[in-house]
Chain A
Amino acid sequence: MHYIALLVVALVMLVPFLWMIVTSLQSPETLVKFPPDLILTSPKFSNYSEVFRDLTIGTFFFNSIKISLLGTLGELLAASLAAFAFARMEFRGKKILFAVLLSTMMIPFQVTMIPVYIIMKWLGWLDSHASLIIPHFFGGAFASGAFGVFLLRQFFESIPRELEDASRIDGASRFRFFTTILLPLSKPALAVLALFVFMGIWNDLLSPVLFLSSEEKMPLTFGLAILQTVQHNFRYDLLMAGTLISIVPILIVYIISQRFVTNAFLRTGVKG
């Protein structure tokens, strides 16, 4: 009985994905058939090569990879440096700064987006990937880095202080301890954070919409959204193929690290 309920819900969750796959293999003729064929008689795999050839999906894909990887790198750097200071050093205004940092997570983007846009204009970063990558080296244009500082600070605090004392006695500088001992020890926490940040950037629509205008610069989210909204009688077969391509990297990463993510989620999610 319990299994039946589980299966029914699983079906509801999966049907949109399955229908995306089925649609992505339709031909223009079978696409508009009603009632629709639930089983494909002749799947059209060439849709996928057509998407890459005609819809600049390849460019979107490359942009997404570039922005997400570099952005993740930047946010991890900025967050781990700050988290180290918050976990292990004493300095004036530390408590206040940390409180301000955490409270930025609650400020809605609607309040800051206009000045942020103007700043990007001043910096000359509009319609360039700089606007989507460089802010992450400073904790993100919309305060996404605060979560990383929070997560890593907790992890760093769990690492025994004696370890740092020992390495200092051996003559290592604090920065050396940070790079050669603390960071390698923190691989699990860094991996989880990297995953969250990567997903966040990969799936983000707002920043690209705000800062980009030319199609060849767009990541998948923006590119697909444009394809969806601009043309109303668009070929849904190709659009679904493109959408599937945009989901696959995240799905692979998620399924591989599923246990990892779930645990991290259970630990950090409740505290928020």
Chain B
Amino acid sequence: MRSRSALWYILPIFIGLSVFTVGPVVASLILSFTHYGISETPTFIGTANYVELLRSSLFWQVLGNTLYYVLLYVPASIVVSLALALLIEKKIRGIAIFRTIYFLPVVTSMVAGAIIWSWLYNSDIGLLNYILSLLGITGPKWLQDPHWALPAIAIMSIWKNAGYNMMIFLAGLSTIPKDYHEAARLDGARSWYRFLYVTLPLLSPVTFFVLAVTTIGAFQVFEQTFVMTNGGPGTSTLTLSYYIWQTAFKFFDLGSASALGYLFFVLIVIVTALQFLIRRKWVVQQ
């Protein structure tokens, strides 16, 4: 049964989709070929924005920072999430309380998390360096140290987000048939071997999903730098996402920022496509 009235039901979403997403995706491609200050009319300048960006050393440094952050954050956060999932998978008394606690940072806003951790990271009177000093370690200056600021943001983000992937891993773990573990146990496989040869392969489709989504999310890191460092000290925590925002809304160079946005988009698409390409090599098909 075809119906005209369907139009009325999808109209709001359709308008929103056109005005706020499809239109802007096209518009921003066009803007990327223009010189456009915030209160001027855009003038066409061809690929000049792209050429200028690819020639600027700051762009490459920002790209490097972003990749460094992704490499710091993604593997560690996946390992932590999986470990948490394995920890709360056991059906023992009170486990729901632990699950709730591990998920608390996820429902908290990134802003709140970032503010709390800025205080924990305070190099003079912060709790973290105090705890480290009790262990005989002199803590670094964290957010004030160009070498430690990005790792500090990564650590904070792992704390904030681990519970999210934990839940997805937990769902994945619950789909692994018990018989497999049982069979491996009867064959005399120890728990570590069962994890390596039963759990990990059977979980690999879920791990792939988590990897793809977490990587895209990590590339987009914005709120943490906005609250904790503003890209500093120096440019040590200036990541693409924040750099795009800064170019557009601090330096009011909307043309260049649009070009950056598209380069960023292409980068994410390439990385995701690569992940799909090597998927076959390690993801077990059931």
Q: Which residues of chain A have a CB within 8 Å of any CB of chain B?
A: 2-3, 5-6, 9-10, 12-17, 19-20, 23, 31-36, 77-79, 81-82, 84-86, 89-92, 94, 97, 100-101, 104, 106-119, 135, 137-143, 145, 149, 174-175, 199, 202-203, 205-206, 209-210, 220-222, 224-225, 228-229, 236, 239-240, 243, 246-247, 250-251, 254-255, 258-259, 262, 265-266, 269-270, 272
Contact = CB atoms under 8 A, between A and B. Distances in A.
B120 to A, nearest CB: 6
B96 to A, nearest CB: 8
A76 B138 CA distance: 51
B220 A19 contact: no
B249 A100 contact: no
Question: Would you list the 8 A-B pairs with minimal beta carbon distance, nearest first?
Answer: A138-B16, A115-B24, A203-B109, A85-B9, A139-B16, A112-B24, A115-B27, A89-B6
B: contact size bracket: 35 or more
Contacts of A32: 125
A258 B100 contact: yes
B278 interface: no
B3 A138 contact: no
A101 B111 contact: no
A242 B264 CA distance: 35
A114 B206 contact: no
Contact of B264 (A110, A135, A205): A110
15 contacts: A10-B98, A13-B104, A14-B104, A16-B105, A23-B119, A90-B2, A114-B24, A139-B16, A145-B13, A174-B5, A203-B111, A250-B107, A254-B103, A254-B104, A254-B107
Interface majority SS on B: helix, strand, loop or mixed? helix
A203 B107 CA distance: 8
B69 interface: no
Contacts of A118: 27, 254
B208 to A, nearest CB: 11
A246 B109 contact: yes
B17 to A, nearest CB: 6
B238 interface: no
Contacts of B120: 16, 19
Contact of A205 (B12, B15, B111, B260): B111
B92 A2 contact: yes
A112 B21 contact: yes
B209 A270 contact: yes
A104 B230 CA distance: 28
Nearest to B242: A110
B119 A240 contact: yes
Interface stretch (B56-64, B82-90, B185-193): B82-90
A222 to B, nearest CB: 8
A255 B96 CA distance: 11
Contact of B19 (A114, A138, A228): A138
Contacts of B110: 203, 205
Given A13-B159, A19-B127, A114-B257, A224 B24 contact: no
Contacts, number: 272
Given A35-B130, A100-B22, A104-B21, A111 B113 contact: no
Interface in B1-43: 1-10, 12-17, 19-25, 27-28, 31
Interface of B: 1-10, 12-17, 19-25, 27-28, 31, 84, 87-88, 90, 92, 95-96, 98-105, 107-120, 122, 124-125, 127, 130, 133, 159, 163, 167-168, 170-172, 174, 206, 209, 213, 216, 219-220, 222-223, 226-227, 230, 240-241, 244-245, 248-249, 254, 257-258, 260-262, 264-265, 268
Contact of A251 (B84, B104, B241): B104
Nearest to B172: A270
A108 B31 contact: no
Contacts of A82: 9-10, 12-14
B266 to A, nearest CB: 10
A34 B111 contact: no
Contact of A34 (B100, B124, B159, B220): B124
A263 B63 CA distance: 38
A193 B219 CA distance: 26
Contacts of B122: 236
Nearest to A92: B2
Contacts of B20: 112, 116, 119, 135, 138-143
Contacts of A140: 16, 20
Nearest to A259: B96
A140 B163 CA distance: 26
B258 A114 contact: yes
Contact of A269 (B2, B22, B167, B241): B167
B104 to A, nearest CB: 6
Contacts of A5: 87
Given A81-B12, A108-B216, A112-B21, 6 more contacts: A13-B104, A91-B7, A114-B258, A143-B21, A220-B111, A265-B167
